[in-house]
Chains A and B, each alone.
Chain A
């Protein structure tokens, strides 16, 4: 016995418990596209924007984001420029970049690939190997995040883009909110937003998938047969805390359908704006003495990583 689609007589391929709907392949794809478009309109994500950098790693989330944005880019009247960073993580990066490029070509989208090793002299594999020797204390995933954000922002600034769109999904949002609450990092909480306006030399950031779950982005990419890298980053295995939170929030979601969306929405709509106004009055940005990009100290965290790695790699 099998479940039928709520909108037609075809067999359902998923049940969206939060929406009380069972959907066939065609109606699921339509549903996601409609919701995506609604999220953009409601949050005015691309208002007065003509050029948007879309960060595409080649994984399911960013590939889904690229295709969904491509669909709405005419309606909302902006141009998409793809940005892929080759992080130099063994075979994982090779496959990721290859998948990203396939999607750009499918959609005929302008894009740029930035090779970390080539442009800055070190790769994420180098960081993994020499991080301790270089005196870098932060975990590898957090270093990688800093590097990606720096490169994305710098590139978007250089080409005069209005915003950077990233593939952060609902599960990412739930994790960020929870972990920032847990560790009491109020400034982090203030920054978690579906839309962060530009300020100083920071280009605006947009997370249009913030209310779309990881399972939905995977289903969308699969059903539309989009090329994406399904492999897990070899360094992600080290994130056991992240894994516990993800698992636990999914247990809650199974028992209370819609919990993840409500949790994220209540935080983003009600709590974040209060924290954000407080945070804005506190932070003062300056230009990094080395690269000119924004920092609160004298030297930005990217330049610190880069110079620490240069010292170790020279030996």
Chain B
């Protein structure tokens, strides 16, 4: 198992999430109750692809796409 930090941009909250080894960005997205179309996941200010593998203790920013405008 690995642990990552997910910073929820709109809620201004940081969650500690535990996922399987070799978990991918898409697993994190699903764990947070989203789909790949709902959010952009950033690491070090760069967007990630859903197939990228997560890093142990990595910090990920979760940016919701919807603006409701």
Contacts and interface: CB of A to CB of B under 8 A. Distances in A.
Interface stretch (A99-107, A114-122, A212-220): A212-220
Nearest to B68: A236
B17 interface: no
Interface residues of A, number: 37
Contacts of B32: none
B69 A219 contact: no
B14 interface: no
A213 B66 CA distance: 10
Nearest to A23: B49
B68 A219 contact: no
Nearest to A167: B69
A interface, over-half SS: helix
A60 B63 CA distance: 13
Given A215-B37, A250-B35, A13 B69 contact: no
B68 A13 contact: no
B35 A232 contact: no
A86 interface: no
B67 interface: yes
Given A14-B47, A232-B10, A246 B52 contact: no
Contact of B51 (A3, A222, A246): A3
A22 B49 contact: yes
B40 A219 contact: yes
B69 A236 contact: yes
Nearest to B33: A247
Nearest to B50: A15
Interface of A: 1-3, 11-15, 17, 22, 25, 57, 59-61, 171, 213-215, 218-219, 222-223, 230, 232-233, 236-237, 239, 242-243, 246-247, 250-251, 253-254
Interface of B: 10, 35-38, 40, 46-53, 63, 65-69
21 contacts: A2-B48, A2-B49, A2-B52, A2-B53, A3-B49, A3-B51, A12-B49, A13-B46, A13-B47, A13-B49, A15-B36, A15-B51, A214-B37, A214-B65, A214-B67, A215-B37, A215-B65, A232-B68, A233-B67, A233-B68, A243-B66
9 closest residue pairs by CB, A with B:
A236-B68, A250-B37, A3-B49, A13-B47, A254-B35, A250-B35, A215-B65, A1-B53, A59-B69
Given A2-B53, A214-B67, A243-B68, 16 more contacts: A3-B49, A3-B52, A11-B46, A13-B49, A14-B49, A61-B67, A219-B47, A222-B40, A232-B66, A232-B68, A232-B69, A242-B68, A246-B66, A250-B35, A250-B38, A254-B37
